[in-house]
Chain A
Amino acid sequence: AQSVTQLDSQVPVFEEAPVELRCNYSSSVSVYLFWYVQYPNQGLQLLLKYLSGSTLVKGINGFEAEFNKSQTSFHLRKPSVHISDTAEYFCAVWPTNFGNEKLTFGTGTRLTIIP
């Protein structure tokens, strides 16, 4: 079984400041890792994903994340945030074992940008 922990339920950040949203996971098998974003009154859309290769993954809207296998983490970062980044962010894992197509989501982090 897998689990995902997003320790920060809310993160307020001043505009143009950097931000890091934390994600830790546990799993008995290897996993693929995802970050999704949900803007107000919308569904989720994919920000970035780690499947293999370089542990530093770049996504849309200037976000990036780093996979750290030893710390079982996949933290999301952006060097300078904008008002438009106000949203809820979800980390998710997808087990690599064949036949298991379920994503496990964290509880989400609400990012609020302060002008």
Chain B
Amino acid sequence: DVKVTQSSRYLVKRTGEKVFLECVQDMDHENMFWYRQDPGLGLRLIYFSYDVKMKEKGDIPEGYSVSREKKERFSLILESASTNQTSMYLCASSGSLSSRYNEQFFGPGTRLTVL
């Protein structure tokens, strides 16, 4: 079974703190994604990566950065957390469309609260 794990299920941070959210997948997927989920807004793409050390901005990259030093790991970084970044963060991975894994597999999510 494909597995995508996220380092924390719940996280509480203070305004201004630097926050790291980690995601690991075990299926050698090329693509990895970070989404933010808010009520009534669905899933919005923050950043994605299609290869090690490669990254692309999604729809809402402001206030976030990412790191992908190894193929299986994709980190989301909040350089200076703010209260409007309180949200559910979901990581996902996928192979290419032509691969066997032509769908996105999701982790369980991290619910981040910034006080």
Assess whether A107 is in contact with B108, with CB atoms less than 8 Å apart: no
With beta carbons under 8 angstroms apart, the residue of A90, A101, A106 that contacts B94 is A101
A-B contact pairs, 25 of them (CB 8 A): A6-B42, A9-B40, A32-B102, A34-B103, A43-B109, A44-B90, A44-B92, A44-B104, A46-B103, A46-B104, A49-B102, A51-B102, A90-B43, A94-B97, A96-B97, A101-B31, A101-B50, A101-B96, A101-B97, A102-B48, A103-B45, A105-B42, A105-B43, A106-B42, A107-B41
Q: Which of A71-85 contact B (CB under 8 A)?
A: none
Q: Distance in Å from the Cβ of B107 to the closest Cβ of chain A?
A: 5
Answer yes or no: A45 CB below 8 A from chain B CBs: yes
Query: How big is chain A's contact interface, by range?
Result: 20 to 34
Number of interface residues of B (CB under 8 A): 24
Total number of residue pairs linking A and B with CB closer than 8 Å: 50
Assess whether A102 is in contact with B106, with CB atoms less than 8 Å apart: no
Chain A positions within 8 Å of B, measured between CB atoms, are 6, 9, 32, 34, 36, 42-46, 49, 51, 90, 94, 96, 101-103, 105-108
Assess whether A107 is in contact with B40, with CB atoms less than 8 Å apart: yes
Q: Distance in Å from the Cβ of A107 to the closest Cβ of chain B?
A: 4
Give the interface centre of A32, A43, A49, A107 by most chain B CB atoms within 10 Å: A43
B31 surroundings in chain A (CB, below 8 A): 101
**A96, B97: Cα distance in complex, Å:** 8
Q: Distance in Å from the Cβ of B104 to the closest Cβ of chain A?
A: 6
Answer yes or no: B58 CB below 8 A from chain A CBs: yes
User: CB-nearest residue of chain B relative to A43?
Assistant: B106
**A105, B103: Cα distance in complex, Å:** 13
**A49, B97: Cα distance in complex, Å:** 12
Q: Distance in Å from the Cβ of B78 to the closest Cβ of chain A?
A: 20
Q: Distance in Å from the Cβ of A44 to the closest Cβ of chain B?
A: 4
Assess whether A103 is in contact with B42, with CB atoms less than 8 Å apart: no
B104 surroundings in chain A (CB, below 8 A): 44, 46, 103
**A103, B43: Cα distance in complex, Å:** 10
Binary contact track B32-59/A, C-beta < 8 Å → 1, others 0: 0100000011110100101000000010
